[in-house]
A and B are shown apart, each in its own frame.
Chain A
Amino acid sequence: MRKHASTLAILLAIVALFAVAMVLGTRQSTGDGETFIGTDSAATTHIEENHPGYTPWFQTIFEPSSGEVESGLFALQAALGAGALGFVLGTMRERRRQRRSAADDSSRPVSDPEPACDAAEPQSRG
């Protein structure tokens, strides 16, 4: 239970930090158009303003045709990553569970809270 409490506390802290950043950030932005511009494009703008003589000497090969397409591709990146991460975590959890039950079967009298893991792991697949 205490384990879950600390997880919950961390989650709440993340949400709170996000909210505070959002509110303070909105107050900070000067109101000339867009708020929350990416720092990457802010740096590019800074270079363009302070070094008007500099012209980028290479262009991106493929550029998303609109902001919508771009955010879609970013969402795709996040989805691919999150999907893979979820799959991996799920697989590891299941593998852990199988090792546990295998260990329980083989050494019933031992009441080890952290059962020694996967000596029988490959066989337990069947």
Chain B
Amino acid sequence: MHIAEGFLPPLHAAAWTAVAAPFVIHGTRAISRTIKEHPEATLLLGAAGAFTFVLSAIKLPSVTGSSSHPTGAGLGAVIFRPPVMAALGTIVLLFQALLLAHGGLTTLGANVFSMAVVGPWVGYAAFRLLGRAPFSIRIFAAMALANLATYVMTATQLALAFPGQNGFVGAWSAFLGIFAITQVPLAVIEGLVGVLIFKALRSWAGPELSALGVFSRRPDHAGTKVEEAIHA
């Protein structure tokens, strides 16, 4: 999902940067608010950031004969809600753009929008919509769909920038052909890894997770103080 440096026309690069910026600014505020309201969840925040950091560094082979990497953005989206991931994902993408020549500064906005905005929101939406399903299924769906949605968004961005003779739809299916099918097995793997990691978090940080409202059925129950969650 990393659009290479310089591979979006200036206008597109500027537009995606403008679109992504408010999400990142809001996300940075959301992080400081989360730390203020739930100081005990700082460790979990570190876990969510570290998780994306690891997963987005690992490129896995896929059935199509090409390889790609997971994003790990679904976990933090489920625990802390998507805005926080906009900020954490930006840190990861900046690291990769500056040190690994992966992605780039001109394409940072577009890459942030796909991996750190669209992915987390789609994952979070899946998690909430499946409110009545078993918890592992909800986590699996959130992680897998956050991963997949990121790559669909990248294909969309590239098709908008390079429609070619076949127009947007033709270019879109060409870019989807590169990204999406490769990504399906990787999304499944990411979903399974997410279920495992969440099992560990649940048994070791249960009170923190309930305080953050992860287990409540309705999102508006989120954000109760940790004392209430512990003494409930």
Contacts and interface: CB of A to CB of B under 8 A. Distances in A.
Interface of A: 3, 7, 10-11, 13-14, 17-18, 20-22, 24-30, 35-44, 46-47, 50-51, 54, 56-64, 70, 73-75, 77-78, 80-85, 88-89, 91-93, 95-96, 114, 116-119
A70 B101 contact: yes
Contacts of B90: none
25 contacts: A17-B185, A17-B188, A20-B63, A21-B61, A25-B67, A28-B65, A38-B67, A39-B151, A40-B1, A42-B66, A43-B158, A46-B178, A47-B158, A51-B162, A56-B4, A56-B7, A60-B97, A64-B100, A78-B57, A80-B50, A80-B53, A81-B54, A84-B53, A96-B205, A117-B207
A29 B65 contact: yes
Contacts of A25: 61-67
Contact of A21 (B46, B59, B62, B200): B62
Given A10-B192, A70-B100, A77 B53 contact: yes
A78 B182 CA distance: 21
B7 A44 contact: yes
Nearest to B43: A88
B16 interface: no
A84 B91 CA distance: 15
Contacts of B63: 20-21, 24-25, 28
Interface residues of B, number: 74
Contacts, number: 194
Contact of A40 (B60, B102, B199): B102
Chain A interface helix/strand/loop/mixed: helix
A51 B193 CA distance: 38
A116 B230 CA distance: 6
A14 B180 CA distance: 19
Interface of B: 1-7, 9-10, 40, 43-44, 46-47, 49-68, 95-102, 104-106, 151, 154, 158, 162, 164, 174-175, 178-179, 182-183, 185-186, 188-189, 192-193, 195-196, 199-201, 203-207, 230-231
A36 B61 contact: yes
Given A60-B104, A73-B100, A77-B95, A118 B193 contact: no
Chain B interface helix/strand/loop/mixed: helix
Nearest to B96: A77
B51 A81 contact: yes
Given A13-B192, A47-B158, A61-B98, A89 B200 contact: yes
A18 B60 contact: yes
Looking at B58, B66, B106, which has the most chain A CB atoms within 10 Å of its CB?
Answer: B66
Given A25-B65, A96-B204, A59 B102 contact: no
Looking at A3, A22, A30, which has the most chain B CB atoms within 10 Å of its CB?
Answer: A22
B221 to A, nearest CB: 19
A26 B164 CA distance: 31
Contacts of A36: 61-62, 65-67
A78 B2 contact: no
A113 B154 CA distance: 47
Nearest to A117: B207
Nearest to A84: B50
B2 A40 contact: yes
Contacts of A85: 47, 50-51, 54
Contact of A58 (B58, B68, B104, B186): B104
